[in-house]
Chains A and B, each alone.
Chain A
């Protein structure tokens, strides 16, 4: 499995050169600070109507709302761009003639990109968290760390999904379309559709079933996980979170998100293994 290491190193070098780590890290750092300072006025734990760093609870609630939209699209674009570029530039054509297993190429690339994503987002969030903690104290820092972990799992899930969708089709435009649709579906459409369904069924769906359905959406799982350690979430974060928190522990949420990483990643590999050069 030396090939995994070679492709992992290559992705890291490329990510370092094109300033991906720096860009993503800076973005998460500044967004965290800006949201923590300006965006927490209405959140639990914040002093109403006063600007400034208030609490990790308030910060995490704001960041969760933003990350649900932002991290999936970053991860999807990262995975799509990498796969589409290798395909279009003829790199796969060359790699497939090297004495390597396809699994070494596929998993080496995923591990490299995953490391870039995790290192950049963790660094950005953590540095911002340290500044916030320095200002307001470390009492609820664990809540923030839980959010960082959840963000990473969300990023990895959507990176794995991008590996799956990018190997499902052949053309760059199709890859882009599928990846964008998956973002639209999981981040926006899924919850909207579920709410409409629940309203249409006029409460005839048991709570257990409703919350189980939410497990089909990694974006919802992320929301639940990142706020799972906040006590007064019930008052501020919607019915879905309340339902999920009632039924599922943090461990279950972590395990389910990990499955959301593993399943599309393995599915993508089966597609990649069958991939041949069509040009």
Chain B
């Protein structure tokens, strides 16, 4: 388990992280989201023992982090995939992974397995300089998984991946979840993490403004569900009176109506009971992205 208490970090007079406190359970998947400069990468570097904290404490499985970082034993359990890593272009993909495998005490057969899992087998003999951005990203992810870590830190792991690569990556994460691996991520891809993370932390201006499960974040946000309805002709009168003030005309024959979760069925019943010539309707449920943007608006960003 990772426990962070009152974590603060300043660079000179600039305060980057302000009194962060949270717990990450063993085997859970957690992602931090936030605008650029919110402190996500700094938080990651502190959790990894790369950057010294200014105040507070970071505890992993009962061991408190002391300068200059984690013990070799704890590092053996960690895997890290940085956001931007320019692997030395003169090494081949296989050579790079073999170099990491030797350091982490893993076998070369695991290297081949990783190359296969990340669809790099055919390019394994090529110098990394010839790899595309997505291939380099896959290579960086593959090195993080060498040594069978039970604690993975992934900084923007799907940043350079194509849709297929992204799906493959989350398939692999699914396997890791079944093995009890703890994953801590930074990501800007909110749709990806909404259904896959157990916890999401929203960092804005160095503060952890929310830390909960995606569904709890949505529920507690106060954001309402909405329905778009499309009629054959424009007739606002077809919308029940008490919803009319919340109805916004979108295009020729469509209206967007905000309603609470409980009002949703009632609204649909009333519309249909009025014999309106309803052409189509769509239920719009608030997403993690809506919650995130509402926090950003609240922070005036």
**A interface list, Cβ under 8 A from B:** 2-3, 6, 9-10, 13-14, 17-18, 85, 89-91, 93-94, 96-101, 273-274, 276-279
Within 8 A of A (CB), among B123-158: 127, 143, 147, 153
18 A-B residue pairings within 8 Å (CB atoms): A6-B102, A9-B99, A10-B99, A13-B90, A14-B91, A17-B91, A17-B127, A89-B88, A90-B84, A93-B45, A94-B82, A96-B50, A97-B49, A97-B50, A98-B103, A99-B72, A100-B103, A277-B45
Contacts of A277 in B (CB 8 A): 45, 50-51
Q: Is the CB of A99 within 8 A of B76?
A: yes
How many A-B pairs have beta carbons closer than 8 Å: the answer is: 78
Closest chain B CB from A49 CB (angstroms): 48
If A14-B91, A90-B84 touch, whether A99 touches B104 (CB-CB below 8 Å) is yes
If A90-B82, A93-B50, A98-B103 touch, whether A18 touches B90 (CB-CB below 8 Å) is yes
Q: Is the CB of A97 within 8 A of B72?
A: no
Interface string of B194-212 (1 = CB under 8 A from A): 0000000000000000000
Q: Is the CB of A97 within 8 A of B103?
A: no
Q: What are the nearest 3 A-B pairs in CB distance? A: A17-B90, A89-B86, A99-B75
**B interface list, Cβ under 8 A from A:** 41, 45, 48-52, 68-69, 72-73, 75-76, 78, 80, 82, 84-88, 90-91, 95, 99-100, 102-105, 127, 143, 147, 153
Given contacts A3-B103, A91-B87, 13 further A-B contacts (CB under 8 A): A2-B102, A6-B102, A9-B99, A14-B91, A89-B86, A91-B85, A94-B82, A97-B48, A97-B80, A98-B75, A100-B72, A101-B72, A276-B51
Closest chain B CB from A7 CB (angstroms): 9
Q: Is the CB of A276 within 8 A of B50?
A: yes
Contacts of A273 in B (CB 8 A): 68
Contacts of B87 in A (CB 8 A): 89, 91
Contacts of B90 in A (CB 8 A): 13-14, 17-18
Q: Is the CB of A13 within 8 A of B95?
A: yes
Q: How far is the CA of A6 from the CA of B86 in the complex (A)?
A: 19
Q: How far is the CA of A9 from the CA of B103 in the complex (A)?
A: 12
Contacts of A276 in B (CB 8 A): 50-52, 68
Contacts of A9 in B (CB 8 A): 99
Contacts of B85 in A (CB 8 A): 89-91, 93-94
